A = this chain, B = another copy of it.
Amino acid sequence: MRLIVARCEARYTGRLDTYLPEALRLVMIKSDGSVMIHADTGGYKPQNWMTPPTTIDEVPEADDEPAMIVVTKRAGATEDRVEIRITEVLSDVTHDMGEAAALERDGVEAHLQELLADQPTWCGEGLRLVRREWATDIGPVDLMCKDTDDRWVAVEIKRVGTIEAVEQITRYLERIHREPSMADCRGVLAAQSIKPQARTLAEGRDIECVEVDLAVLRGEREPDLTLFG
């Protein structure tokens, strides 16, 4: 990883055009070809960047022209380009960092779906799973179940239940209902938390809302394990 603290200006042309007036910034160049230009404020995002795969050319200082770093990337038919004009270098160091271990994550939507697929009754009494990722022509329904009356139930799972989640399951139901044998299919939105407005919208469309707790879902298994432990 190369870290350059320098006074610089930058231009980006690609999906749009941007200009970054001259100021003191950090230019970070990763060994995978990532390039990022960070200001000392502005939070998470770099002011300019390019993701791999990139081509990085360093143009040395010459006559009146300052040194320049040119980063390019093929982007379909066109080319993305960042030009960094460096007028003053305060620091320029390179560190060999080797491989970094990957991030381990726990508690994302996929985990929620796994747990609910194993225990679909949390989405509604007596529900039994027929299929995960039930395909429609506008995307897959997370869980397709049947209830105690043998009626179809489409379950959409989200970490956060928003209006958009209600729209999504509504679209699925619209498609599912075209199939005569599934015309009475009902919908359930299951999420760790459901926004009040989403709940209101869902209720107006006869879509049931269920809040589920990751810890409880996992705790449900514990009695079984401890009994034998």
Contact = CB atoms under 8 A, between A and B. Distances in A.
A3 B26 contact: yes
A23 B100 contact: yes
Contact of A138 (B31, B90, B163): B163
A100 B40 contact: yes
Contacts of A99: 23, 41
Contacts of A228: none
A30 to B, nearest CB: 5
A103 interface: yes
B19 A104 contact: yes
A106 interface: yes
Report how many copies the assembly holds: 2
A62 interface: no
A17 B103 contact: no
Interface string A94-105: 010111110111
B107 A20 contact: no
B48 A52 contact: no
A22 B163 contact: no
Contacts of A121: none
Closest 5 CB pairs of A and B: A16-B107, A39-B100, A21-B101, A40-B97, A23-B100
Interface of A: 1, 3, 5, 15-26, 28, 30-32, 34, 36, 38-44, 46-49, 51-52, 90-91, 93, 95, 97-101, 103-108, 137-139, 163-164, 167, 171, 197, 200-201
